Amino acid sequence: MDPPPLSLNQLSALLEAAPSPDDLYTSLSDYEEQACLLASQPDEVELLVDFYTAFFFSHLLTDQIHEARALTRRIPRDLLQTDSLQTCTLLLRAIWQRKHTEIYKILRELPWPERSRPVVQSYESYFQKKTLKEVSNSYEAIRPAAAASYLGLNANLAEQGDTAIIQKFTACGWRWDGETQLLHPKPIVTAPPKEHNLQNELSRVMALISNHGR
């Protein structure tokens, strides 16, 4: 079934409904055709900028960084020059280069369209959680300033041993060693994703054997 016509109200309703990242991506993906057709209409710039900003973030929220990059190539060039989509491009570059401090700075300090703010905040929270897991599993011991930078907290305060910041880490199960002034993260173990690829790989091998045996 075709989605209702894309409009600012429709987009707002969709974003305010706060669907899961996957649902948000699917819904916005269904609207891409309409957006593409509206692209030639100059009075729809606001709608399109808001749509593409939200769609861009739905890629990030579903960890589709390469596809997000591909999206920036599909967005009409004149729209890409708008502030919001320029900021998206900056953010993508920072994520690509894993510049954590820059990522938080872009998310928090650069202007975002009012309608996109919920999705920007969702991404900030998602990115923070994702990074917390990555740091927890990668570091055996970490200086508070480095940990704070990764999680978008005040690195200067952390370096001075600010109790509030240290408490944020200990609340996640990390251990604070006052003597060495180091934090000891607690690994976050999650069930590994199911290996759908393996099935494909083997099917591929069997198909090749089957074909080349002819």
For binding to other proteins (CB under 8 A), which residues are involved?
2, 29, 32-33, 36-37, 64, 66-67, 70-71, 73-74, 98, 131, 134-135, 137-143, 146, 179-182, 189, 191-192, 194-195, 198-200, 202-214
Q: Are residues 54 and 68 in contact, defined by beta-carbon separation less than 8 angstroms?
A: no
Nearest approach in angstroms of CB 210 to other proteins is 4
- Side chain identity, residue 201: E
Task: Please give the structure tokens belonging to residue 61.
Answer: 């929220």
Whole-angstrom Cα distance, residue 9 to residue 6?
8
Toward other proteins, which CB reaches closer, 38 or 112? 38
Nearest approach in angstroms of CB 172 to other proteins is 16
Q: Which of 57, 56, 44 shows the shortest CA–CA distance to 10?
A: 44
Toward other proteins, which CB reaches closer, 68 or 112? 68
Nearest approach in angstroms of CB 140 to other proteins is 4
Toward other proteins, which CB reaches closer, 34 or 53? 34
CA 193 distance to own-chain centroid: 19
CA 196 distance to own-chain centroid: 23
Please classify residue 79 by burial: count the beta carbons closer than 10 Å to its beta carbon, then call 0-12 exposed, 13-18 middle and 19+ buried. middle
Q: Are residues 34 and 5 in contact, defined by beta-carbon separation less than 8 angstroms?
A: yes
Nearest approach in angstroms of CB 111 to other proteins is 27
Toward other proteins, which CB reaches closer, 26 or 163? 26
Toward other proteins, which CB reaches closer, 86 or 180? 180
Nearest approach in angstroms of CB 46 to other proteins is 20
